[in-house]
A = this chain, B = another copy of it.
């Protein structure tokens, strides 16, 4: 197989947990495309330098090398136009959803799972992770997550726009899942693959949607190493 996706892992190469990598993995599955998973770790800059990127996902598809989940989705839509559409006519309109996910949802989730992510890393990577994240947060990893039970109602309020949307339709893309769903699902799958902390009530419309996403493509995301939810 010539198609390869570089995906973030920690000590266990089977536990892929990056939200951006999950967007691309789901986008590939949406297009019905296989891709060998190449485990990549935070400290392995050299391994993806060929792609001109310092972050994953990186997709290698024959002669094409594409970094960044948004660009990968654009590439897949362009290269495989006869497969199910990721964007439909909504590519530009999805910029806002991606921006909300990147700037609101992901930072909020990280404050619940930070120590759990740390625990999954190789000892050799942990100092980098601790130092860079503690600099960003201005406190220890442990202090960031310490009040997560208290912050949980605030998190559940923060995702109200998802809940309102998913009361109106089964998927963020409408009647069937598409890239709108993959954008946001990546974040919940990141939490699921790293942390046992229950972000959602089981009957939350967002949790029910997450369940539908976990079932897609023969349970691709549900079978991935993670915590039941």
Chain A: residues with CB nearer than 8 A to chain B?
87-97, 99-100, 102-104, 160-162, 164-165, 168-169, 171-175, 180
Measured in the bound complex, the distance between the Cα atoms of B163 and A102 in whole Å is 12
Contact A93 B95 (CB under 8 A): no
Q: List, in ascending order, chain B residues with CB within 8 A of A173's CB.
A: 92-93
Closest to A162 in B: B96
With contacts A88-B89, A100-B100, A103-B161 taken as known, whether A168 is within 8 angstroms of B95 at the C-beta atoms is yes
Q: Give the number of copies in the complex.
A: 2
Q: A92-B172, A92-B180 are in contact. List 16 more A-B contacts (CB 8 A).
A: A88-B89, A89-B90, A90-B93, A92-B169, A93-B94, A93-B97, A93-B172, A95-B165, A96-B97, A96-B165, A99-B162, A99-B164, A100-B100, A100-B161, A103-B161, A104-B160
Q: List, in ascending order, chain B residues with CB within 8 A of A172's CB.
A: 92-93, 95-96
A-B pairs, 10 with minimum CB distance = A89-B89, A92-B174, A90-B90, A99-B164, A90-B93, A99-B161, A100-B161, A88-B89, A95-B165, A96-B165
Measured in the bound complex, the distance between the Cα atoms of B162 and A160 in whole Å is 17
Q: List, in ascending order, chain B residues with CB within 8 A of A99's CB.
A: 160-162, 164-165
Closest to A179 in B: B93
Closest to A184 in B: B96
Q: List, in ascending order, chain B residues with CB within 8 A of A103's CB.
A: 160-161, 164
